[in-house]
Structure 1
Amino acid sequence: DNNGNKILASKSCSLTPSLLAVAFLSSFGSSMLYGYNLAVVNSPAQYIKQFYNQTIVARNGTSQNDEALTLFYSVTVSVFAIGGMIGSLMVGMLVTRFGRKGTLVRITYLVFIAGALMGFSRMFASPEMIITGRFITGLHSGISLSVVPMYLGEIAPKNLRGFLGLVPSIFICLGVFVAQILGLHELLGKEEHWPLFLSLVVIPTTIQLMLLPWFPESPRYLLIEKKNVHATITGEDGVNIQAEIEEMQEEQRSMSSVETVSVIGLLRDRSVRWQVITVVVVNIGMQLSGIDAIWFYTNAIFENAGIPLPEIQYTTVGTGAIEVIAGCIGCFTIERLGRKPLMIGGFTFMGICCAGITLSLLFQVHYISVACVVGIIAGFCIGPAGVPFLMTAELFKQSHRPAAYIVAGCLNWMSNFTVGFVFPFLQMSAGAYCYLVFFGVCMAVAVYVFFIIPETKNKTFVEISQMFAAMNGTLEEESTELGHNLKLTKMNGYGAIDMENGVIEKNK
């Protein structure tokens, strides 16, 4: 750029090793931790309760009843969602100040603090350290769940945005699967190992902290917001990044301002009305689809189906493997099928399986309920698990994207917490019919996606915005030209941008 910084770029139509590496690395140290922390407290639940009781006896001389211990454990589980909701509210401020990659690097320190608190909690006989550690891991997950898809959506070429956008959902499923495997009694599912089990989150974070700083920041953030492009994705000699630069320039010209829009500004902006409604519908629908209730009550459903208690843990691991496989299917088919088919198919299949659980409970056909549980998990991981995060990146331009992720993340975590709190009461009042509520939500979201949301496969951010312009009743207006145009020159075999000249030249 005009400060002498070199710019490295990838081909706009191919998946380079560097692009794949940054997608895997950012997801490995962030998204996978979210899945791991969802499942890590299930296996050692009884040991954590025993630790709480022993600590309270040592402090007060009196033992706690089962209701009090269940309350303590419920706080331990639910405080993760509270931390996540608070973290999601911080996303806009962090990504605007530190960038996408910069935010991911900086929040790794939260995981080290949380891992230390949970790992040494038994040594210091402090249940408060576990609860605080869970809150901090939730804070990290609330931030990273929005920042990772935002980062990957901005660095990915339009023809690979869907594939890279679903990589985090694969790692979420992988995190759940790893926690289920390590939680087996033969591994870390023993009383003496639960502090280590909780603190293993520091391992992937350490790897991410060592390697991620060497990868580039989002070029859209650097060019459009900071006007100071340092680097994009490293590529081969002779690549042509002219199309990518022109696309970013077009996006910048189409915005009335490069300033980041606040959440209030986003909600008041008539030009993105249907995009905001879409984000609200798909993110609330993702959590109210019943997936959280299924995950929470999987063991009880399997037990009612007649599976022997010692074998339930292995059956649960099997569902984790199905999650990973389904996530991979969605990731490798999204660029061929598109976003809408995965969303419509996933929600429809989940709805049918929710109705199937109701029927199986009414007619006492328990093996059908097991199949429906597996079907709900598979349907969720194929599309609804990852596409809403990807769509949040695709439906908004650079100036509106951070605020959109704040709205999406906050709704996501609030809905997650609501399902966990309300479902037991819903189950007591409605019995087997409670799953029909999830059936209704799934089918309603599928209908909304079918009739309202346009297909965004292989479209630029500006093209997607123009598709929504007619729905919003607005016209796309060109903003004033940049004060400094860009010129692409050759520097050490790669493309370089010169801010002082008025044309764009491609690499020669």
Structure 2
Amino acid sequence: MNGGRLGVTALRRLRASNQVEEDIEEMRAEERAQSAEATISMRELICSPTLRAPLIIGVVMQLSQQLSGINAVFYYSTGLFISSGLTEESAKFATIGIGAIMVGMTIVSIPLMDRTGRRTLHLYGLGGMFIFSIFITISFLIKEMIDWMSYLSVVSTLGFVVFFAVGPGSIPWMITAELFSQGPRPAAMSIAVLINWIANFVVGIGFPTMKTALENYTFLPFSAFLAIFWTFTYKKVPETKNKTFEEILAMFRHGNDRVANTACLQVFLRLYLPLLWNYEHVTMKKTDGVLMNVKRVDIQQERTGWSEENTSASKETFVSGTEETPLKLTNTFKNSRSSDQKL
């Protein structure tokens, strides 16, 4: 009981408001759902059609954090600054500035998550990093032509870190957790952490080789990745702010239904549209109580060469059961119609 009171007091202090009943009720509902929901293993999570889309989004969000190039800046910032034209002492101070800005902007981004939304903040972060990565490349290219380009490199790198702290620094972890309920969340977070550290390792090991090979164009691959991740976030990642797990899951189910309907429509058009427009008319007639198919000439022949004065002889095949009997008709469209009426 005392623990509950302490929890309410701490929540009021955190929210800076006495109106915390809704938050407490949401926590209790989540606790009840957690006790009633079975834990899902990694194999079950990967094989689940419903949870596959959230899992892919979670994985791509982690990749957007590590393949953005931020660890290349953190691990090799001093060497980057020296190569851009700064002295060794100035490069060390710039590296210290990167760490300070990272801490400060991470604190600033916490209230922004609830105001602007997770998806919006991530888009801002990726977009800003893309722009400053281009500036970093430009500063490397013309550093020998203009003396003050080394300072542009420092400013661009600091701006790169600022936008990382605003978006990709923390948003991927929050969105990944919010996409899953209590059952699949442990397995999903385990996969996300694994992908995150693998990408971190690849960037840390591969960046020196990439820098040697690409020289001044070292950050262009990161720019390409940032553009890809921005597009993916804009098209595929839902906004999770103020949404329950049921609402988020319903969004994915609705998206799967829409994709399935689109696929069915494409298959239908691919299979049946040529039959309707490029081949033959098929009409149904009833003669002597038997339903018969009458295959007519190609529709394009109808459009181009059909006339009462000049037409080639046409044939119709009457199909009854499994037998086919060809019947020669007269050369004119008028006689053909009269023959159909007699039949």
**Is TM (by shorter chain) over 0.5?**
yes
- Aligned residue for 2:78, secondary structure, equals helix
**Residue 169 of structure 2: aligned partner:** 385
**Residue 367 of structure 1: aligned partner:** 151
**Residue 354 of structure 1: aligned partner:** 133
Does the 8 Å contact 2:40/2:187 carry over to 1?
yes
- Aligned residue for 1:448, secondary structure, equals helix
**Residue 395 of structure 1: aligned partner:** 179
Is 1:319 the counterpart of 2:98? The answer is yes
Residues 32-181 of structure 1 correspond to what in structure 2 (within 5 A)?
Answer: none
Distance 1:415 1:303 in 2: 26
Equivalences, count: 251
Distance 1:368 1:444 in 2: 25
Does the 8 Å contact 1:343/1:387 carry over to 2?
yes
**Residue 440 of structure 1: aligned partner:** 224
**Residue 421 of structure 1: aligned partner:** 205
Distance 1:460 1:367 in 2: 46
Is 1:310 the counterpart of 2:89? The answer is yes
Deviation string 1:231-286 (CA, Å, 9 cap, x unpaired) is xxxx9899577732663278469xxx722111111110111121011011110121
Deviation string 1:76-120 (CA, Å, 9 cap, x unpaired) is xxxxxxxxxxxxxxxxxxxxxxxxxxxxxxxxxxxxxxxxxxxxx
Distance 1:460 1:467 in 2: 11
Does the 8 Å contact 2:102/2:162 carry over to 1?
yes
**Residue 25 of structure 2: aligned partner:** 243
Structure with higher RCO (Cα < 8 A, 6+ apart): 1
Is 1:284 the counterpart of 2:63? The answer is yes
Does the 8 Å contact 1:279/1:388 carry over to 2?
yes
Does the 8 Å contact 2:134/2:223 carry over to 1?
yes
Does the 8 Å contact 2:39/2:183 carry over to 1?
yes
- Deviation, 1:358, is 1.3
1:237–1:448 distance in 2 versus 1, CA, 3 Å: closer
- Deviation, 1:361, is 1.1
Distance 1:241 1:439 in 2: 40
**Residue 334 of structure 1: aligned partner:** 113
- Deviation, 1:290, is 0.3
**Residue 296 of structure 1: aligned partner:** 75
Distance 2:180 2:215 in 1: 41
- The farther-off stretch of 399-408 and 370-379 is 370-379
Distance 1:238 1:326 in 2: 28
Name which of 8, 12, 16 aligns with 2:12.
16
Q: Which amino acid aligns with 1:366?
A: S
Q: Which amino acid aligns with 1:335?
A: D
Identity %: 32
- Aligned residue for 1:357, secondary structure, equals helix
- Deviation, 1:370, is 1.2
- Aligned residue for 2:243, secondary structure, equals coil
Residues 171-210 of structure 1 correspond to what in structure 2 (within 5 A)?
Answer: none
1:249–1:316 distance in 2 versus 1, CA, 3 Å: closer
Distance 2:97 2:24 in 1: 47
**Residue 458 of structure 1: aligned partner:** 242
Name which of 407, 432, 441 aligns with 2:191.
407
Structure 1 residue ranges without an equivalent (≥5): 21-159, 161-234, 475-508
1:286–1:317 distance in 2 versus 1, CA, 3 Å: same
Residues 457-476 of structure 1 correspond to what in structure 2 (within 5 A)?
Answer: 457-473=241-257
- Deviation, 1:357, is 1.3
Deviation string 1:123-145 (CA, Å, 9 cap, x unpaired) is xxxxxxxxxxxxxxxxxxxxxxx
Deviation string 1:195-232 (CA, Å, 9 cap, x unpaired) is xxxxxxxxxxxxxxxxxxxxxxxxxxxxxxxxxxxxxx
Does the 8 Å contact 1:251/1:461 carry over to 2?
no
Is 1:274 the counterpart of 2:274? The answer is no
Deviation string 1:139-166 (CA, Å, 9 cap, x unpaired) is xxxxxxxxxxxxxxxxxxxxx8xxxxxx
- Deviation, 1:15, is 4.1
Distance 1:238 1:467 in 2: 28
Structure with bigger strand share is: 2
- Deviation, 1:289, is 0.4
Q: Which amino acid aligns with 1:451?
A: K
**Residue 118 of structure 1: aligned partner:** none
Q: Which amino acid aligns with 2:207?
A: F
Q: Which amino acid aligns with 1:322?
A: I
Does the 8 Å contact 1:261/1:403 carry over to 2?
yes
- Aligned residue for 2:188, secondary structure, equals helix
1:406–1:237 distance in 2 versus 1, CA, 3 Å: closer
Deviation string 1:374-404 (CA, Å, 9 cap, x unpaired) is 1111111111011111111100011000000
Distance 1:458 1:434 in 2: 40
Structure 2 residue ranges without an equivalent (≥5): 144-148, 259-343
